[in-house]
Every structure is written in structure tokens, then in C-alpha cells.
Amino acid sequence: MSADMADVNPSSEWKLKPHPVLPSGKPCVVCILDGFGENKYKDEYNAVHSARTPNVDKLRENAERCRFVQAHGTWVGLPSNDDMGNSEVGHNAIGSGKVYKQGASLVDAALESGDLFKGDGFAHVKQAFEGHTLHLIGLLSNGGVHARYEQLKQLFQGAYEHGAKRIRLHILTDGRDVPDGSSIEFVGQLEKDLEQLRAKGCDALIASGGGRMHVTMDRYEADWEIVERGWKAHVLGEAPHTFTKALDAVTELRKLPKANDQYLEPFVIVDGEGKAVGTVQDGDAVVLFNYRSDRMVEISKAFEYENFSAFDRVRYPKDLKFAGMLQYDGDLKLPKNYLVPPPFIERTSGEYMVKNGLSIFACSETQKFGHVTFFWNGNRSGYFDEKRETYVEIPSDKCPFNEKPDMKTREITEAGIAALKSGKYDLLRINYASPDMVGHTGSLEATIRACETCDECLGELLAEVDKLGGVYLVCSDHGNADDMVQRNKKTGQPLQDANGVNMALTSHTLAPVMVAVGGAGLKDSVKMRDDLPEAGIASITATFINLCGYEAPSDYCPTLIKTD
């Protein structure tokens, strides 16, 4: 039992009703195996299936206490069921217990209605259209996790129609949410679409770029040098490689040893005299066109804050008209100006629990720390109540994760077990990042190792829960490790490149994910309900609130368990 709960008296709107059957006061662990889906392809290319996972297998075999729920598309607020889930929308859903229309859907709607070009954010950047340049920076991809090409196209066409005369694109190649090598196709398409704009008299060019994991799109301050490389290329026009054409840049840079879209070297596009065609100057407008926040926060700080010390910006353009596609941090109000309002996520499970006197422990390593805190709490940084909450970040490695596939799974487990033993917490949420982060490297062997280490650590964690008479819920937020190869959609057979080598899949999958409950402290009568065939991950919230001994708020998605 945590700190005395008698000293809290939440107002009626926040009061959680005690569960009629399940007691409170037992430590409850929610463990998220990030990117650990249950894929229909159960073959050697499914790392979850191929890995030795005796602990997960034991959970999976107990059909009365283990089921699968959807973690993609409309189940997590994305436009269509062809959209992969991801950690941001997944942890929003699991933390809030509800499905909110997410960035991708909000931007689609704002473009569809034209509201995007009528809002205050666009009016802010429009001030630069006379006599200055509009710079658009973001992920060039149709992966739909951080950005979508169709939206970018409508953005720069709309900007031209609303008066932009000079537009510069600073593109980050993907190869993570979409197949490696697809950058060639996206750059080719972008060049065609900009050519049409130039034919109408708009001076529109690609000005710089680089691979998303090497240039600009760092998150959780894992490696500011990634952002610095982006600043140099996009703002200062400085990079190790210069080209006169973006297609040449991507084609040639992909020929470098070990090159791929995710980690492509930074480049700057120059004119015939070798002068950068699109540096950011005083009075220019800069718009970040990614809608997802985690990998836009650091570059946003570099553009937004006069006082900034994460790296030497060398030159900070004056009178910049800066905006994000969305506001990327609601607490920091960062950026101040944005084109589309973010989802307003309120009354999340964390806020309910601390208001009802429960104590919370949240832990992951850097790469997923923001997911078990910021995204879990509805895109809010900081604590709801620092007396009742403890957030622990284990610093992630900076090397490619396939080189050290255990990542910090063991260290996270140690921290979780220590927190459990302290007896201070009612709810402990822990995210094992490696199935997802190693899955994104495309290395099947490394991802199998990541899954095996997660399983070993999960066994230790759950054994501690049992020792303490506690309860647990094991789940995931979306698929990734469950499919490590690109497949023929009809036959399911691996697709091969020109050399007959299987083409790795680095992205998430559409697979459902497991939800398993248990623990020495869980009443025998608790079973999975069998009347919710279409449940999604947003039902995990009510489920763990029940395990903590409370009824969930009435408007949360329904619990997955029954206690007859």
C-alpha cells in the first residue's frame, strides 16, 4: 500500500468508485512490450514467434486470462485501418482509456475543410510571404506515423495559393515507417510536384535534407547532435555533401557504405556557383510539417527559443515566423504557433489515480521514456502530483540498437523490481523498448535476441509481483517485431531485392497485441470477457484500473475482464 490514501478526498467528478469485487492495495504492474505484436504470419521472419519466450508463452497459453486487441487505425484515432499504430497514439490510448482523433486525422480534416489556411498559425507564417521564404521541414514519407506526403503536397500548394512566392523544402528521408529505398520515389514525386508549382511562377525548390535518424528528428534528448546536423543543413546551408539536385543527393548518398534512408548523410542543394539555394534568413517563415510531436520537440526548441544552449546555432535568424503543424508540447506551449490544434486529451488515468491517493511509478529507457510519461498523460510533460509520482529514465545507448539489442531491458527491470520492493507504489508502468527499437533496424537476428531478453526480464518482474502478492497486466502498444520482412500481400512470401535477398521490414505492423492479466494477488474468478470481440488497446486502461481495485470512469472504453 502506498502513502496513506485516507488523506485524499477527491471531488465527486474525480472520485473512482471501489471495485465491487477486486480489492485495492495490491501493487499492480503494467508492462508494455513495445512493438510486440501477434502476427498472422507465424514463420521464421516473425521475431516474436521465433524467439524463445517461455514467460510470454505461459501467459498466452492461459486463454482465460490472455486475449488480443487491436492497436492500429481507428482503434487508436488514426484515419483508416490501413494506418499502423505507433507508440504515441498507443500510449495516448492506454493512458487515457479513450480513443481521440489523432494528428493524422486532425490534419486531414483541417486540409479538407480549408480551416488550416484560415487559422492563426497560418496567418502567423503568412506574414513572411511577401519578400521572404517559407521553409517546410519534415519527414518525406507516406508512412502516416509522423507525416504524410499527401498532406505536405496540399500544404505547399495551399501556401502558394495563399500568396507564398518562395518555398524551400528541407526533407528528412524515412526508411523506418516505409521500406528502405522508398526515398527515391518520394523525392522524385516531390520534384515533379514542385515543378508544377514553378510552372505557375512560384520559386519552389528542395534545399536540404538527410536521414531522419541522423538529421533533425531526435527525441527525448537522446542525441542533440542529430538536431545540430539538421540546423546546419536547413538553416546555415552547411553539410558534408552538396548537390545541385535532390534526386542525385539521395541516389549518390545511398551508395555510401552501410547507407540507408533512416541514416542518410546530411546534404545541401546548391546552385551552379555552389551557393546554397535555401538557407533560413531573417524574416523567413519556418513550418515543421510533421504532426507527431516526439521527434519535433528538440528542433522546435532550436527555432523557438532565443536562449538556447543545446548546441551552437552559430546564427539565429531574427524575426522568424515559426510554426509547427501541431503544438508539440501542450505544457511548454511549444511551439506557440501551430497550424492545427492537437487532440485535447483530458482526465487521463494517471490524474484520476493520483487524485484518489494512489502512488505511481513509471519507468523506461530514453527511447520510450516520453511514452510512459508525456504521451501516457495525454501529451503533458511533468507530474500531476510529484508527491505521488516517480518517473525514472534509464539512459538509452547511442549506438544502433541492433548492435546492443538488449538495450536497457535489464536495467529497467532492476529499477522496476526495486520500486516494487519499496512498497511505495500502487501502480507501476514499465515499457520495454527493445522489440520496437531493434525491430526498426530491420535485423531479424537482433530482434529475436531483443524479444528473448524481454521475456527473461518479464519473468523476473512477474515473479517479484507474485512474491509480493501483487497483480499484473502485460500488453503491447502496436506490432513491429512480429514481422521483419516485406511480404507479397497475397502469398505472404518474403519479397526479395535484385540480388535475391529478403527485403527487411523496419516499420510497425497492423497486428493485434496481447493483453494478459495475472498475479498471485488476482482473484481466481477474474477472467477475460468474451463479449468484446472488437476491443482495442484503449480498453487496457479500465482493465488495470479494475486490477487496482477501482471501477473505471464511465466514459472510458470497457474493461476486458469479468469477475463473476
Ligand X SMILES: O=C(O)[C@H](O)COP(=O)(O)O
The catalytic residues are: 87
**One residue of 298, 389, 477, 483 binding Mn ion per CB under 5 A:** 477
Name which of 452 and 477 has its Cβ closer to Mn ion: 477
User: Three-state SS string across 99-138, please?
Assistant: CCCCHHHHHHHHHHHCHHHCCHHHHHHHCCCCCCCEEEEE
Nearest alpha-carbon partner for 209 in 233, 227, 238:
233
* C-alpha dist (Å) from residue 186 to 89, 141, 148, 497: 25, 7, 11, 19
- C-beta of 273: minimal distance to ligand X in Å? 37
**Residue 301 partner contact from Mn ion, ligand X, none using kind-dependent CB cut-offs of 5 to 8 Å:** none
Which set of grid coordinates corresponds to residue 95? Answer: 493512458
Q: Which of residues 417-436 bind Mn ion (CB under 5 A)?
A: 436
Among the listed ranges 61-69, 146-154, 207-215, 470-478, the one in contact with Mn ion (CB under 5 A) is: 470-478
Cis-peptide into 335, omega within 30 deg: yes
- Bind-site residues for Mn(2+): 34, 87, 436, 440, 477-478, 508
**What pairing do the DSSP bridges indicate for beta strands 166-173 and 203-211?**
parallel
- C-beta of 67: minimal distance to Mn ion in Å? 20
Give residue 185's identity as a one-letter amino acid code.
E
Name which of 2 and 260 has its Cβ closer to Mn ion: 260
* C-alpha dist (Å) from residue 149 to 289, 327, 495, 507: 10, 20, 24, 17
Among the listed ranges 180-188, 198-206, 463-471, 472-480, the one in contact with Mn ion (CB under 5 A) is: 472-480
Helix (H, G, I), strand (E, B) or coil at 155: helix
Q: Which residue is nearest to Mn ion (CB)?
A: 87
Which set of grid coordinates corresponds to residue 66? Answer: 490472455
Which set of grid coordinates corresponds to residue 303? Answer: 527555432
Q: Please classify residue 119 by burial: count the beta carbons closer than 10 Å to its beta carbon, then call 0-12 exposed, 13-18 middle and 19+ buried.
A: middle
Backbone angles phi, psi at 282, to 5 degrees: -50, 135
Name which of 84 and 353 has its Cβ closer to ligand X: 84
- Bind-site residues: 34, 87, 146, 176-177, 212, 219, 292-295, 368, 436, 440, 477-478, 508
Name which of 51 and 296 has its Cβ closer to ligand X: 296
Binding mask 87-126 toward Mn ion (x if CB under 5 A, else -) reads x---------------------------------------
Query: Residue 34, interface with Mn ion (CB under 5 A)?
Result: yes
- C-beta of 220: minimal distance to ligand X in Å? 10
**Residue 65 partner contact from Mn ion, ligand X, none using kind-dependent CB cut-offs of 5 to 8 Å:** none
Name which of 133 and 507 has its Cβ closer to Mn ion: 507
Name which of 176 and 301 has its Cβ closer to ligand X: 176
Name which of 102 and 546 has its Cβ closer to ligand X: 102
**Residue 426 partner contact from ligand X, Mn ion, none using kind-dependent CB cut-offs of 5 to 8 Å:** none
- C-beta of 287: minimal distance to Mn ion in Å? 25
Name which of 218 and 455 has its Cβ closer to ligand X: 218
Binding mask 165-184 toward Mn ion (x if CB under 5 A, else -) reads --------------------
**Residue 176 partner contact from Mn ion, ligand X, none using kind-dependent CB cut-offs of 5 to 8 Å:** ligand X
- C-beta of 436: minimal distance to ligand X in Å? 5
Which set of grid coordinates corresponds to residue 449? Answer: 535476441
- C-beta of 223: minimal distance to ligand X in Å? 13
User: Three-state SS string across 214-270, please?
Assistant: CCCCCCCCCCHHHHHHHHHHHHHCCCCEEECCHHHHHHHHCCCCCCCHHHCCCEEEE
Q: Which residue is nearest to ligand X (CB)?
A: 86
User: Three-state SS string across 470-482, please?
Assistant: CEEEEECCCECCC
* C-alpha dist (Å) from residue 290 to 103, 218, 294, 334, 466: 9, 13, 10, 14, 43
Give 250's contacts (C-beta < 8 A, 6+ positions apart).
173, 183, 184, 187, 209, 264
Q: Which residues are 64's β-sheet partners?
A: none
Chain residues in the site for ligand X (CB under 6 A): 35, 86-88, 145-146, 176-177, 295, 436, 440
Query: Residue 365, interface with Mn ion (CB under 5 A)?
Result: no
* C-alpha dist (Å) from residue 457 to 31, 66, 218: 11, 19, 27
- C-beta of 492: minimal distance to ligand X in Å? 24
Nearest alpha-carbon partner for 242 in 212, 279, 284:
279
Q: How far is CA 537 from the centre of its chain?
A: 15
Q: Which of residues 74-93 bind Mn ion (CB under 5 A)?
A: 87
Q: Please classify residue 60 by burial: count the beta carbons closer than 10 Å to its beta carbon, then call 0-12 exposed, 13-18 middle and 19+ buried.
A: middle
- C-beta of 405: minimal distance to ligand X in Å? 16
Query: Residue 402, interface with Mn ion (CB under 5 A)?
Result: no
- Bind-site residues for substrate: 146, 176-177, 212, 219, 292-295, 368
**How many residues sit in the footprint of Mn ion (CB under 5 A)?**
4
- C-beta of 441: minimal distance to ligand X in Å? 11
Helix (H, G, I), strand (E, B) or coil at 329: strand
Give 556's contacts (C-beta < 8 A, 6+ positions apart).
97, 98, 538, 541, 542, 545
**Residue 265 partner contact from ligand X, Mn ion, none using kind-dependent CB cut-offs of 5 to 8 Å:** none
Residues that bind Mn ion (CB under 5 A): 34, 87, 436, 477
